[in-house]
Structures are given as structure tokens and as C-alpha cells.
Amino acid sequence: MHGQPSIDLDVPDFVPRADVDDGLLPVNAHVRGASGDAVGELLLWVKDGALAALEYAWYTDEPPTSLTAADSIVIEA
């Protein structure tokens, strides 16, 4: 079984912080396939008021071989 690919982010100290709890940011960022069906989602993680990581979770049997194009992401806050 493959793990979800993720990217850890390092936000500089001078960047203002948001007043949000640590953990998963409550945003839906669904990845749509060529047919329009949801094939995955992007998860945004926060620590100390700053983005800490981006994780790509897929719903298909095979993991993606690359990050998805921006125009195939549907965001719902």
C-alpha cells in the first residue's frame, strides 16, 4: 500500500499568522478526473497559524504519478 504524497511547508517567521486551530484546514479541494468524477482531494494542514503541509489523497486504486493540474481542482470553503 502506498502512502499519500505530501509536501511539508516552511513559512518564514515574518509572515502573519492566522487565528485558526492546528490540524486540517476545513476546506474541500476535490481533484476531478477527465470524466469530471472526483479522483482525489488536497488536504491543507496548519500549525501555529501557518500552512504546514499539503497532502494529496487519491480515491482510485492506482496512485497518481504527478500532481494534478490546477484547473482540475474544485475548491469549496
C-alpha cell at 6: 505530501
- pLDDT band at residue 30 using 50, 70 and 90 as cut-offs: very high
Count of domains forming the chain: 1
Phi and psi torsions of 31, nearest 5°: -100, 125
Q: Is residue 47 part of a domain?
A: yes
pTM for the full predicted model: 0.81
Given this model, what pLDDT does residue 1 score? 39
| C-alpha to C-alpha distance for 52 and 19, rounded to whole angstroms | 14
Strands (E), the chain: 6-8, 23-24, 28-32, 38-47, 50-58, 73-76
Domain that holds residue 20: 6-76
Taking the mean position of all CA atoms in its chain, how far away is CA 53?
8
Mean pLDDT of 8-19: 96
Among the listed ranges 23-32, 48-57, 62-71, which one has the minimum average pLDDT value? 62-71
Q: Is residue 1 part of a domain?
A: no
Q: Is residue 59 part of a domain?
A: yes
